[in-house]
Amino acid sequence: MQFSTSTRYAIRLLFELRQPNMPQSSAVLAEQIGIPLKTLEKIHAVLKKEKITDSIIGAKGGIFLRIPLTEVSLGKITELFDNGIRFAVCFGEKANECPMQNTCRISSAWMHISKLVQEQLNNISLWSIFQEFPQNHCCYALKKESGLEPCAAAAAQGLEKCRQ
């Protein structure tokens, strides 16, 4: 099992936007994430439709997170971009693609396992993932240079505040 590229990009975008109501330029976000601007816009459109992100037009505008990452689950993102977890094509949108659709004796097991994994992903917030891996903090690289803790390193560099 592997998440789609869109799911991985959406997670990376949400990590960059982790401070709710702080607009960031689409062009800057695309560069930070390392994806084309058009791809970022498509991902944002899906997240905006689900009221996870929003945007403001203008010089001080950009994309922003509408809700805290504590309220966004990994399961929700997989549902939006991968149609959830599916270990087999015998159910879901591509059910008709399975050549053994009428004779398979294990499809219910695949469905049950997929449901269990999806339920677990629904219980994992993106904030908990972010907190688990401190190298995702914006000023983590500064720590290596200064020897200070990440937030102190950001302050030492004159950053107004760490965007944890």
CATH of the domain at 88: 1.10.10.10
- DSSP run (H or E) holding 39: helix 37-49
Are residue 27 and residue 96 in the same domain, yes or no? yes
Are residue 89 and residue 121 in the same domain, yes or no? yes
- Measured CA to CA, the distance from residue 43 to residue 118 in angstroms comes to 21
Are residue 141 and residue 85 in the same domain, yes or no? no
Quick one: pLDDT at residue 60? 85
Quick one: pLDDT at residue 141? 46
Could you tell me if 75 and 122 are in contact, meaning their C-beta atoms sit under 8 angstroms apart? Answer: yes
Are residue 138 and residue 68 in the same domain, yes or no? no
Give me the DSSP letters along 104-154: -SSHHHHHHHHHHHHHHHHT-BHHHHHHH-GGGSTTHHHHHHH-S-HHHHH
- Measured CA to CA, the distance from residue 76 to residue 123 in angstroms comes to 10
Could you tell me if 97 and 89 are in contact, meaning their C-beta atoms sit under 8 angstroms apart? Answer: yes
Quick one: pLDDT at residue 110? 83
Specify the number of domains making up the chain.
Answer: 2
Are residue 100 and residue 123 in the same domain, yes or no? yes
Quick one: pLDDT at residue 76? 96
How confident is the prediction along the chain (164 residues), in pLDDT tens digits per residue?
A: 678 999 999 999 999 998 777 899 999 999 988 999 999 999 999 999 999 999 999 888 899 999 999 999 999 999 999 888 877 767 666 666 677 777 888 878 888 988 999 999 999 999 988 888 755 455 444 444 555 454 554 455 444 444 44
Range of the domain at 160: 134-164
